[in-house]
Amino acid sequence: MDQHNSLREAIESGDAVLGACGDTFSPSVVELYGELGVDFVWLDFEHGGPSPHDSLLLQDLTRAADVGGTELFVRIPGPDPALIRKSLDAGVRNLLVPRVDSADEVREAVEATRFVYEGEPGERGKSGSRASAWGHAENYIESEDENVCLGVMIEKTTAVDELEEILSVPELGFVFIGPSDLSVQMGHPNEKTHPDVQNQITEIRDACLDADVPVGCIANDPEDATQAIEDGYQIVRIGGEFGALKSTIGDRLSRIER
């Protein structure tokens, strides 16, 4: 298994990456996304899909990503250190943890990804799993610590209150802003464009940029995605196969006379 993480390298170099949702959790679709040139495939195990504990499926998905030349971007249900370790052992290199509340919670999650953390033993467990090429990878421990990348979603007001502390957690890979849940938390459900919500999003983004922590967002429209990158976002999700099916097949059906 290639332990190289192109997504982490890109964002640490200041580049932007574009990703799409793997709505069907299909290895074939993941491989196709890679062939199309998508930088990462977003897999949402928080709101749907199969069990995030199914390491056999994760192994197949990571193989497909390796073949296609893309990276998986796996949103797990929460900051569970055991699930973080299991996902990494299956070969996942990029994890997104939703609904965090505090810096302590974030630190515990990040520490679970590291064999060595802040000069001390971390909470990652060594195994003969796919991530280690079944025990044959050279410099496995050092390589994993250099390549795995864990980020968190800022989508709760409790996290906003501790944002400065969260951004100072060592080895935090990135922040992804969740506008939908943030709007609910702020008392404006389903109003992602409400001025208060938009102002809060801007403040979160600016804080990330000031702290030199890469920040991500959703921008399905190409012009919006381009603007997001100009505004400093480095991780941009631009849609998925469900949306593509709806727009493409829906448009064709509406234009066929029968």
Domains of the chain as residue ranges with CATH: 6-255 (3.20.20.60)
With 90 as the cut, is the pLDDT of residue 258 above it? no
pLDDT digits (tens, 9 = 90+) for 246-257: 999 999 999 999
**Side chain identity, residue 136:** H
Q: If you average pLDDT over residues 19-30, what whole number do you get?
A: 97
Query: What is the pLDDT at residue 3?
Result: 75
pLDDT digits (tens, 9 = 90+) for 38-48: 999 999 999 99
Query: What is the pLDDT at residue 201?
Result: 97
Contacts of 254 (CB under 8 A, 6+ apart): none
pLDDT digits (tens, 9 = 90+) for 56-94: 999 999 999 999 999 999 999 999 999 999 999 999 999
Q: Find the catalytic residue in 4, 47, 136, 188.
A: 47
pLDDT digits (tens, 9 = 90+) for 188-227: 999 999 999 999 999 999 999 999 999 999 999 999 999 9
Query: What is the pLDDT at residue 1?
Result: 65
Is 4 known to be catalytic? no
C-alpha 18/C-alpha 16 separation (Å) is 7
pLDDT band at 138 (very low <50, low <70, confident <90, very high): confident
pLDDT band at 241 (very low <50, low <70, confident <90, very high): very high
> Where do we find the tokens 């064999």?
115
- Closest-CA residue to 155 (of 187, 177, 188): 177
Encoding tokens for residue 51?
A: 């069990």
What are the beta bridge partners of residue 152?
A: 97, 175
Indicate the pTM of the whole model.
0.95
User: Phi, psi (5° rounding) for residue 4?
Assistant: -75, 135
